[in-house]
Chain A
Amino acid sequence: MGNMWYSYVSNPDTAPDFKNPPTFDPMYGFPDGRQERTICATREQLDRAKVPLKKRDYCVDYYMKFLECRQKHFPRVWSYCHDQIHEWEHCQIEDTVLRVKEWEREKRLKERAKRKARRESMEALD
């Protein structure tokens, strides 16, 4: 709720655009760099397993393990595959946290850019 107040009422100019990817350089502010996100599965493996497009995010490895377990133990999926589902859902939660961090980073960088622009314009007046 606070993010909506921030975006629509108090700071619409520095609010991040939540519909588009971040606008700043991903490495800006990380002197030691950032770890890249990867998955172990290949495109061919995903196509062979017919994984839906919506599930082909950075948690597909866990999802594929769940699919394997499900195929093995169907119809008693919930009894045998609880761990796999839990791992996959945990990955999704961490992905959500990462997205929230990206929003926060975007917001702070935008505020910083605004402060810098104002300082530069004040210095230009002097």
Chain B
Amino acid sequence: MATFMKVCSVLAKHKKPLICHRQSNLSTSSRLFAAFWNKDWKPGPIPRTPEERAAAAKKYGLRPEDYNALADGDIGDYPELPLVARSWRDPFEDYDLPGEKRNFGEPVNASADIIGADLWDPNADGRYTYGQMLMYGVLTFFGFVTAFLVLSPYEYFPPEMPKQYPFNNLYLEKGGDPANEPEIKHYTFKVPEE
């Protein structure tokens, strides 16, 4: 109980979140958009005049002629940028942030953090088509079936002869005719004691 009260008081005093990120306006962590939200990064109001547009373009690191459209959704003056997967970017270019294939200050799409910097690529072709997947699955299944059928005559066995039972292999116990009881003897490998 005492530790619980202590934890509550610590949380109340410290307004910062308990994730360890560097306290700076520059996000240079390799995890794209993983830093906590800073109020200075909030987009401004929609620009109306050419001067406002130019200022907004400079803020986002775009040239004024590139700053044409606004991003989808109610997020102010954030520009619309193409949603290009990281895999489509040049792998041999010397990026400032090689993990993200991105240079410092380069603007990214507004939805990039949700889509995922390295997961979703709207133009990526899968390695296998659905037809190929189905074919390989069916082949594997019937391969197992064939192996089972081909190998079933060659059953697994330990190198032993059948188990020996007394009383003439339990002839009467298994429902044999008492008149025809055969005489079956079993032996060990030892010399009989005198």
Which residues in A have some Cβ–Cβ distance to B below 8 Å?
Answer: 3-4, 7-8, 16, 18-22, 26-27, 32-39, 43, 53, 56-58, 60, 95-96, 98-104, 106
Contacts and interface: CB of A to CB of B under 8 A. Distances in A.
Given A53-B170, A53-B174, A36 B159 contact: no
Nearest to A27: B187
| Interface SS majority for chain B | loop
Interface stretch (B50-58, B63-71, B161-169): B161-169
Contact of A103 (B154, B161, B192): B161
B92 interface: no
Nearest to A22: B161
A19 B187 contact: no
A32 B163 CA distance: 25
B157 A18 contact: yes
B161 A36 contact: no
Contact of B189 (A4, A16, A101): A101
A98 B167 CA distance: 18
Contacts of A58: 164-166, 186
B188 A32 contact: no
A38 B166 CA distance: 7
B159 A35 contact: no
Contacts of A99: 160-164
A18 B158 CA distance: 9
Given A19-B162, A58-B164, A35 B154 contact: no
B173 A20 contact: no
Contacts, number: 94
Contact of B187 (A18, A36, A53, A106): A36
A34 B159 CA distance: 22
A36 B166 contact: no
21 contacts: A18-B157, A18-B159, A19-B162, A21-B164, A26-B187, A27-B187, A33-B192, A35-B188, A35-B191, A36-B185, A37-B188, A43-B173, A56-B166, A56-B173, A57-B165, A58-B165, A60-B166, A95-B163, A100-B160, A102-B160, A104-B159
Residue in A7, A22, A53, A99 with the greatest tally of chain B CB atoms within 10 Å = A99
Contacts of B166: 37-39, 56-58, 60
Contacts of A57: 163-166
B190 A34 contact: yes
Nearest to A38: B166
Q: Which 3 A-B pairs have the closest CB atoms?
A: A34-B187, A99-B160, A3-B159
Contacts of B167: 43, 56
A94 to B, nearest CB: 9
Contacts of B134: none
